[in-house]
Structure 1
Amino acid sequence: MRLTPSWFRSSSDESDEADAGDPHGISGLTMVHAPGEDPSTGEDDDYPAGEFLPESDGALLAVLEGMSTPVTVDEVADTLVEPAQPSIETWAVVHERLHGDRLPSLDASGAIEFDEAQGLVERTPPHPSEAGRFAATVLTAISIGFLLVSIGLVSVSVLIA
């Protein structure tokens, strides 16, 4: 995971990191927050983190459905804060809330599959509806009925002949 917004690094930053031998592309930026401090409420930031997080799980699922999964938490955070490009601290709070709270709760409800270790999010395949299962059962029963009738007619015609 890159743990930085997509707009934070330029292509020259990436080449410098590659030359330095950093296999993860980490920019060397360290963010430190005191316990209990919420950087999303800082007065120097025009965009509080709560402004970018969807209020409901359904709204967050709608955002995820618009993305080509699997995606990383970084990509989800980028999508939520685009085009505003807030401070890196705000992006980090959005990322942290997604990774620590919102995505695990969606995973627990079965709406998505979230791998916390890798930071990957995948949509779960839709479950067949009750009506779909009923239709398949009826179709199977009708098919078996026609098969038995066909076998019976062939047996009768062999006995008569």
Structure 2
Amino acid sequence: MSFWDLPDKDETAANVDAFLKGQINRLARQAGCRLTDIASPDFSNPSVTRSRSNNVEEKIYKGLHAIEALQAIRYTMDKTYGLSPQILVKYYIQHEPVHAINRELLIDHDSFRKLKTKALCEFADCWNSTQEVFEWDDEDKLDLQVY
């Protein structure tokens, strides 16, 4: 793969769609929080490393990691352009139906699929830099683009 190769937009969008649908609800259950409570993180507060010595601490530790992952997803959504952040948040986090999103954002019914595909591809573009911002280990990083 060359640096100049472009990702396949339809396959990348499908990959990101599966990622968001599969991970968001799972992470929210693991974190024990509501999706609507998740916001982009505030990077002015440094993260705290926690030790893991028993089951309760392990559950807390996993919950904190799940919250961090949800914040990373929300952060990435906010880094996309134009209507994309609103489409991604309303569809994947708030679970609004397509007709309500179309009405609220003044989107033509036929344009939603195209705008959603664009938003998902933008998410994939931004995801790599988000993983760097959150300083995740290499084994935890995931490339969502399909070439």
Which TM class, normalised by the smaller chain length?
under 0.3
Q: Would you tell me which structure has more strand in proportion to its own residues?
A: 1
Larger RCO: 1 or 2 (CA < 8 Å, sep 6+): 2
TM-score w.r.t. structure 1 length? 0.23
Q: Would you tell me which structure has more helix in proportion to its own residues?
A: 2
Please tell me whether Structure 1 or Structure 2 has the larger radius of gyration of its CA atoms.
1
